Amino acid sequence: MKIFVLTGAGVSAESGLGTFRDKDGVWTKYDLSEVATPEGFARNPALVRDFYNARRANLAAAEPNAAHVALARLEAALGDDLFLCTQNVDDLHEKAGSKRVVHMHGELAVTRCHHCQATRPDVGALTAEAVCAACGRDGGARPHVVWFGEMPLYMEEIEDALAEADLFVSIGTSGSVYPAAGFVSEARAMGIATCEINLEPSANAYVFDEKLYGPASEVVPAWVEKVLTQG
Ligand code: OAD
């Protein structure tokens, strides 16, 4: 059985990384148009770098939880029959042992040059003075994170994997940010079984065939156990 798993901020919530739209979520404290758009970066790059430097510091201290560990176990058992697509920019799936994670919204621990688009792994602080090793210019260091108004990454690979899947499972995501929020309807239209795992019903919960509600750290390991024992 080929399984396509989509994860969102809810899978990392119990690792201490904030979600976005919940009460006390990141977007209740920060104006996303200021810190998560190309226009915001052009207006005030220092504010944007400070925001992501704080998130890099939080990430350095975060550990994967039982949900990440269970998904790594599922990958170890299924190999290429598991496609793990995440909207998360954290590296907790990798820290838990997942090897083939597709980060459609980019990665926090990667720096991109806004001038030439060169990327490099980097967990240090983003600064205006940093000189890009590829183009030699300064002032362009930004996180390799997809901002609002930018195209998500790996969409062709993702669409191909979705079309091949027998089961689509959405874990800990609000169902309100496209294109990821549309995957469940695409899956349904292709006759693929769908399952939502979340703390509570998401915005598009009504589209899913199966719904499992509770903390990801409890529900995901139980679901993985069921898949591995019942097939
Ligand atoms: P949201 O913060 O919008 O939604 C988090 C979801 O996780 C909600 O549906 C919660 O009910 C659920 N949740 C919270 N705690 C949970 C737990 N312990 N177990 C299970 N579920 C839990 O995050 P996303 O939908 O992932 O994009 O956000 C999508 C995108 O919007 C992000 O990738 C980010 C953001 O703006 C960019 O920055 C481009």
Distance separating alpha carbons of residues 40 and 73, to the nearest angstrom: 40
Distance of CA 98 to the CA centre of its chain: 13
Q: One-letter amino acid identity for 42? A: A
Q: Record the tokens describing residue 176, joined without a space.
A: 């309100």
Domains and CATH numbers, the chain: 1-16+64-105+152-231 (3.40.50.1220), 18-61+107-145 (3.30.1600.10)
Q: Is the pLDDT of residue 231 over 80?
A: no
Average pLDDT over residues 165-194: 97
Residues 132 and 116 sit within 8 Å (Cβ to Cβ): yes
- Decide whether any atom of ligand 1 lies within 6 Å of the 174 Cβ: yes
Residue 141: burial class (beta carbons within 10 Å; 0-12, 13-18, 19+): buried
- State the DSSP code for 115: T
Residue 33, φ and ψ in degrees, nearest 5: -70, -20
Q: Is 93 a catalytic residue?
A: no
Distance separating alpha carbons of residues 47 and 180, to the nearest angstrom: 28
Residue 145 — very low, low, confident or very high, per pLDDT cuts 50/70/90? very high
Average pLDDT over residues 143-151: 96
Distance separating alpha carbons of residues 12 and 17, to the nearest angstrom: 6
pTM of the shown model: 0.97
Q: Find where tokens 């939080």 sit.
A: 58
Q: Is the pLDDT of residue 146 over 80?
A: yes
pLDDT at 185: 98
Q: Find where tokens 């209740």 sit.
A: 28
Which mutation among 11, 14, 22 tests ligand 1's pocket best, with the greatest number of atoms within 8 A of CB?
22
Nearest-5° angle of CA 209, CA 213, CA 216? 115
Instruction: Give the distance (Å) from ligand 1 centre to CA of residue 210.
Output: 19
Give the tens place of pLDDT for each residue, 20-49: 988 889 999 999 999 999 999 999 999 999
Distance of CA 213 to the CA centre of its chain: 20
pLDDT at 17: 92
Give the tens place of pLDDT for each residue, 51-108: 999 999 999 999 999 999 999 999 999 999 999 999 999 999 999 999 999 999 999 9
pLDDT at 18: 87
